[in-house]
Structure 1
């Protein structure tokens, strides 16, 4: 069944600031989400110590490294890392236009999920800008495979995710989350799922200068005996792991530069697979069309969207 889609672009009603530490650098960082005009999109503005700044549009063409998180930009001095959790919150709440000012090289990890970003955006409020929103509607299957992993887009009357993972530990095994994505579904079923990792990998990551800010306060840690080290256990019985992978997928696909109408499926995926599948979709002009609604209602169905002739609309471009 189709899900409701918003007719008009939005932004935050007022600036809101969030502070924490970077999961990889361990350094303190503050970000401020600022209102922006219709058509701005999502822009990360990294402020430098010398008073200059680097602007990075949150689009597929700007995705650099995807090994341990999603990075926008292609050089350490002019990039912003770990954008996926805040982007997932922005996408799920239907926030189209915002300038995210940050004073560090990565987003704060907070509690390892999107929950605090959701709370901050809702605290600031979301306003309707009165300008029609455009969507990317998937027209045909697009698939990316690498080894045993794969990810794909399929046509669908709404926005749906079906994410499946498999890990060689009895604590996780094979898990799947599937459902239509709405703001309420994201808040109820996905937003509080935390990033996770294995204790056996910690020393290797530290030696590489990674995960320096990781702790039991922001990550689910799995011990060598296949148990959760965190005293409080899991937030979602058994499957917090696949819920977080779905959260990551939402954030990574938000880098389409527009909301999409279609089904996204993946097996043993991650940031790299999400990015590769998105680029495969957007590089094939026969695989999608740009649509908007002509129905002046608060929400519309995907089937009520109409294709528009918009050659200038390239949301994945810089």
Structure 2
């Protein structure tokens, strides 16, 4: 069986840096992305705090899903990880260390485009280690009220998002993209975060979104028929494209590439985490495969059971797990 992925792990060719504003703090944030060794994964470091453990970009490190995805280790947290994680995942970066001097990844222009271009400009370096991939074999669904998210078998990573709003501007929007067709940069990366003007004002009143401006947020007018941004929308359906972008960045916290079709209806960060936890609790619906240079694959022995903690089921065992004979 041939898979639509390069079998090798990748890291950046060299260290890259950027500077921006934290969406909620309004403070300047300096961020540096460094190459990392095989099987390192993506890790975050806070240079403004006393030296401590790195925060692994993994679902079992998620501590908050309100407004953005926040990961943490002890008292150290990093919020708004989803746009950067989407850019890294889409460009095929498996291993990197990210250092920042604040508790937020900078919002930049509200999309993943600045991160994607930064990573793309420096390029990536192939590493000798082979990728471990999570392949969905049976559908898994997470339901939260009227919100629903499902992942089904698919030979690649496909994401379908659908949203419903009562206002005239958004209404119902649906969008799908297959990640491994290299369309991320053209179709998804530039889609920006959005919010209603009165919501932003309420956040300001509560000491949040202090860095939010028309330069990094699509502000929906009080009349629900237009936006305040003078440059308009980048896509007619930019709202659902950004939701798909957020979903891609969040499921990257599974810790490895995924083969499956994710279909999300009215879902947000909390439901994205709910799906990952549902995946982790149902090991009978997936398998971990290690890719081979000739495109074939080998399947890990199923040594897991659903009673183990959700965060332990997906990635931490991979580097030491035995591999069975090629299927």
Q: TM-score range by the shorter chain?
A: over 0.9
1:306 aligns with 2:306: no
Which residue number corresponds to residue 166 of structure 2? 168
Residue 9 of structure 1 aligns to a residue whose secondary structure is strand
Q: Deviation digits for residues 113-158 of structure 1, max 9, x if unmatched?
A: 0001011111221000021111000111111111111001111111
Whole-angstrom CA distance in 2 between matches of 1:316 and 1:167: 36
Which residue number corresponds to residue 264 of structure 1? 262
Whole-angstrom CA distance in 2 between matches of 1:95 and 1:189: 19
Residue 216 of structure 1 aligns to a residue whose secondary structure is coil
Whole-angstrom CA distance in 2 between matches of 1:264 and 1:305: 22
Do 2:287 and 2:302's aligned partners in 1 also have CA atoms closer than 8 Å? no
Whole-angstrom CA distance in 2 between matches of 1:162 and 1:58: 23
Which residue number corresponds to residue 9 of structure 2? 9
Do 2:287 and 2:299's aligned partners in 1 also have CA atoms closer than 8 Å? yes
Which residue number corresponds to residue 109 of structure 1? 107
Q: Which runs of 5+ in 2 are unaligned?
A: 305-311, 318-327
Q: CA deviation at 1:295?
A: 3.7
Do 1:93 and 1:183's aligned partners in 2 also have CA atoms closer than 8 Å? no
Which residue number corresponds to residue 71 of structure 1? 70
Whole-angstrom CA distance in 2 between matches of 1:120 and 1:192: 13
Q: Deviation digits for residues 254-313 of structure 1, max 9, x if unmatched?
A: 0000010011011000111111101110122112110122343xxx4xxx4331237599
Q: CA deviation at 1:217?
A: 0.3
Alignment of 1:197-216 (within 5 A): 197-216=195-214
Whole-angstrom CA distance in 2 between matches of 1:157 and 1:191: 23
Do 2:54 and 2:73's aligned partners in 1 also have CA atoms closer than 8 Å? no
Q: CA deviation at 1:52?
A: 2.2
Which residue number corresponds to residue 139 of structure 2? 141
CA separation of 1:31 and 1:54: change in aligned 2, threshold 3 A: farther
Whole-angstrom CA distance in 2 between matches of 1:268 and 1:316: 28
Whole-angstrom CA distance in 2 between matches of 1:293 and 1:96: 14
Do 2:8 and 2:293's aligned partners in 1 also have CA atoms closer than 8 Å? no
Q: Which runs of 5+ in 1 are unaligned?
A: none
Whole-angstrom CA distance in 2 between matches of 1:54 and 1:211: 28
Do 2:48 and 2:100's aligned partners in 1 also have CA atoms closer than 8 Å? no
Do 1:282 and 1:288's aligned partners in 2 also have CA atoms closer than 8 Å? no
CA separation of 1:98 and 1:315: change in aligned 2, threshold 3 A: farther
Q: Deviation digits for residues 61-101 of structure 1, max 9, x if unmatched?
A: 001110100000166x4100000000000110110000001
Whole-angstrom CA distance in 2 between matches of 1:154 and 1:249: 15
CA separation of 1:81 and 1:183: change in aligned 2, threshold 3 A: farther
Range with greater deviation from structure 2 (220-229 or 180-189): 180-189
1:47 aligns with 2:47: yes
Q: CA deviation at 1:7?
A: 0.6
Q: TM-score, normalised by structure 1?
A: 0.92
Residue 286 of structure 1 aligns to a residue whose secondary structure is helix
1:193 aligns with 2:191: yes
1:120 aligns with 2:118: yes
Alignment of 1:173-184 (within 5 A): 173-182=171-180, 184=182
Of structures 1 and 2, the one scoring higher in RCO (CA 8 A, sep 6+) is: 1
CA separation of 1:315 and 1:285: change in aligned 2, threshold 3 A: closer
Pick one of 239, 264, 278 that aligns with 2:237. Answer: 239
Which residue number corresponds to residue 34 of structure 1? 34
Residue 203 of structure 2 aligns to a residue whose secondary structure is helix
Whole-angstrom CA distance in 2 between matches of 1:110 and 1:209: 19
**What stretches of structure 1 move > 4 A for 4+ residues in a row?**
310-318
